[in-house]
Structure 1
Amino acid sequence: MPNYRRSGMHGGTFFITQVTYQRQPWLCTEIGRTALRHALGHVRQSHPFDIDAFVLLPDHFHCVWTLPHNDGDLSKRMRLVKRVVTKYYGHALGLSADVSASREKRKEGNVWQRRFWEHLIRDESDFAAHCDYIHYNPVRHGLCDTPQQWPFSSLHRLTKKGVYSPDWGGEEIKSLEYINLGNE
């Protein structure tokens, strides 16, 4: 089995994708949103990080997180977020997907896909391109016609701050062309 290595860069900024187990569409439900919001808040108390951009879709989420200058343990934060959601809300989610023997052996539930995808942000243009990708993602998935129509996105907060114009994303975004995650 491969030994996956994460960057671990102290103070790094990371683009992250986390998918639900068997792509079950529970994340945008009331209980799913509450569970994830609670887990993020809980983990940030003991292991701080900034959430620079975020979008929640029915079966996955994308985000950009910046870690503190003295810490590079992204994996611990993701593991804890997933654990809090599973431990405190897993039963309430009422998920019906069976757990494989491999997952049972590892004491994993039927809430999250085992691993997450991560990319270390290289520079300002990489940061901007990944934020654009995040905010345009609901349109790519056919969930809405414009990014502003999707309620579960940091685009609204960033528009109020003046980072994005109110009509951003009305046309295809050129910076999205080079980002190909291969997992959607």
Structure 2
Amino acid sequence: MSDYRRVFVPGGNYFFTVVTYRRRPVFELPENIELLRTAFKRVMAEKPFKIDAMVILPDHCHCIWQLPVSDQDFSGRWREIKKYVSKRIGAVGKRPGERDIWQRRFWEHQIRDEDDWRRHMDYIHYNPVKHGLAPSPIDWPYSSFKKAVKAGWYDVDWQERSTGFDC
């Protein structure tokens, strides 16, 4: 068993990577992307949090969340999001009591400072280009990039800055 320990910080900012089971391209279907969006809306209505950035690719998604000041429960939120999607598109799988939509775990990183936030924002928005799904971040429809451009965080023709890591 791994010695991995999650860091829970009330009001923390986190980068997440969540992957489908065996990297199946579950989210190449627009109706499944809509289910994921609905799951986020439902969970956010019950347990609020802010999404700074997000990208949905066929077999995984990345996002940055900011939790409320008095709350550190990102795991519970992910559990509910994954459960909502799984109940609607998952087939009963080989793993007892589970549906084969998601990998069991997810990867998180606590954002340490503004530079760290920026690098992860860049990574998220460039990810569809990196995977050959779009020629430019602005061309990928399942990303927060256009919202980030509107907020003044990016120029419309932005391309990758060196992020210094590879997830």
Give TM-score scaled by structure 2 length: 0.94
Is the contact between residue 130 and residue 179 of structure 1 (CA under 8 Å) also seen in structure 2? no
RMSD of equivalent CA atoms: 1.5
Deviation at 1:4, TM superposition (A): 4.5
For 2:83 and 2:4, the matched residues in 1 are separated by 20
Q: CA deviation at 1:5?
A: 2.8
**Match runs of 1:11-50 below 5 Å:** 11-50=11-50
Structure 2 residue aligned with 1:114: 104
Matched-pair contact (CA < 8 Å) for 1:6–1:75: no
After superposition, the C-alpha distances for 1:110-138 in whole angstroms (9 at most, x for unaligned) are 11111000000000000011000000000
1:132 matched to 2:118? The reply is no
SS in 2 for 1:54: strand
Structure 1 segments, 4+ long, off by >4 Å, are none
The corresponding residue for 2:89 is 90
CA distance in 1, matches of 2:39, 2:3: 27
Aligned to 1:179: 165
Q: Which runs of 5+ in 2 are unaligned?
A: none
In 1, the alpha carbon distance for the partners of 2:41 and 2:4 equals 27
Q: TM-score w.r.t. structure 1 length?
A: 0.86
Mark the structure with the bigger radius of gyration.
Answer: 1
Q: Which residue of 2 aligns with 1:161?
A: 151
Alpha-carbon shift at residue 3 of structure 1 (Å): 6.2
